Structure 1
Amino acid sequence: MTAPARPDRLADDPADDPADDVVLLDDEGRPTGSAPRLEVHTTDTPLHLAFSVHLLDPDGRTLLTRRALGKQAWPGVWTNSCCGHPRPGEPVADAVRRRTREELGLALTGVDVVLPDFRYRAVDASGVVEHEVCPVHVARVERDPVLDPHPGEVAEHAWVPWADVHGAVTRTPAVFSPWLVLQARALGPDLTARATTARTTAHTDTRSRA
């Protein structure tokens, strides 16, 4: 579900926020400290915590975004709806909502985790490395929600049937970000079913702990 965009969206590039530290992790995925995001992403990027979000509408379409040409790594490639990094002490679900509001001008009211243990390492053509523990989320949205993409993050966007995305990452992987390619393969051709299963499992776990 979605709600109207909130007025506290950052006016400048959200990636330049001085509070934008990332959480560093050891090889077991345990927090070891923090560091400024812009200083972390180098040719020897340490393992750190991130997240990915796939927006999913009632017709089974997901929002693909094309990364702005000014991005440090993988500029101009198509990727999932939104990505980001939780700040130290910030719950991942809160970070998902914050970043989606900053990048897309969209306020989410609920998200489900579909790949809680997703992890990858990839090297951009420039040599910049991404090295992340990156739980993957799905957020259900209404059909054709009003978006206000941040130009420093998003060059273009398109609503595409998930099954088409799943097929395209196999045929032309170079067009997409490496994390989207890996996530789509792991999620399979039916994202709606995968998200429904994740929500049912989460609700069952919540009741069992009550």
Structure 2
Amino acid sequence: MTATSEELIVLVDDDGTAIGTLPKPLVHHGETPLHRAFSAYLFDDAGRLLVTRRAAGKQTFPGMWTNTVCGHPGPGEDDATAIARRAEFELGLRVGDLREALPGYRYRAEFRGVVENEVCPVYLGRFAGTPSPDPAEVGDWRLLDWAAFRRRQESEDGDTWSPWCREQARLIEAAGLVPAA
């Protein structure tokens, strides 16, 4: 995406079929339309999960800890390409060994009057490189083994973790998909 291009979000119907697009700044508000997204959980070679804290200036769920990278595939863009694009843009990382974990995941969540309403397949994979976050996207990051990640999620109350990350982590565990260290 060039500096002058506009990020378009793919709107979908209840079956996940694309029905149009909107510029990203027009999508997220109190009545956010259903749209395509993705969540990726990326691990280093030692099996540690890279978790990120959303930048304080983000429009949606600012300052919350979450999975490695979330985002929206553009029109005609497959999820793997979108995940690689966002991991490079947000964190300066390369992505590999990507596999779909929760293909039918969908959620709706609200924080401070802004709603997320997404058909959001969840992926597991590996990353290569050292995180070098864009401060407009990522406020902080940590490498945690899965057990430490889940302990933090379950022990920290309130708005510490994004609601989708909490729910996805439970579903990943329930499906027996937690990667071995």
Q: Same fold (TM over 0.5)?
A: yes
More strand by share: 2
Query: Unpaired runs of 5+ in structure 2?
Result: none
Q: Deviations over 1:54-111 (max 9, x none)?
A: 1112333101111111011211111111111000111111111111110011122441
Q: Which has the larger helix fraction?
A: 1
| Mapped contact 1:60–1:191 kept (Cα < 8 A) | no
Which aligned pairs between 1:73-88 and structure 2 lie closer than 5 A?
73-88=60-75
Q: Which amino acid aligns with 1:60?
A: G
Q: Which residue of the partner structure matches residue 102 of structure 1? A: 89
Displacement after TM superposition at 1:173 (Å): 4.7
- Offset at 1:190? 6.1
* Counterpart position of 1:183: 168
Bigger shift: 105-114 or 42-51? 105-114
Runs of 4+ that moved beyond 6 A: none
Tell me how large the CA RMSD over aligned residues is: 1.9
Q: Is 1:130 matched up with 2:106? A: no
Partner in structure 2 of residue 31 of structure 1: 18
- Does the Cα contact within 8 Å between 1:162 and 1:190 map onto a contact in 2? no
Distance in 2, Cα, partners of 1:117 & 1:131: 14
Contact 1:52–1:137 under 8 Å retained in 2: yes
> Helix, strand or coil for the counterpart of 1:164?
helix
Query: Which of 147, 151, 158 lines up with 1:167 in the alignment?
Result: 151
Q: Which has the larger radius of gyration?
A: 1
* Gapped regions of structure 1 (runs ≥ 5): 1-8, 194-210
| Identity across the alignment (%) | 44
**Equivalent pair of 2:43/2:125 in contact (CA under 8 Å):** yes
Which TM-score applies when normalising by structure 2? Answer: 0.90
Match of residue 68, structure 1, among 49, 55, 58: 55
SS state at 1:120 partner: strand
Q: Give the letter aligned to residue 164 of structure 2.
A: W
Tell me which amino acid in the other structure corresponds to 1:183.
Q
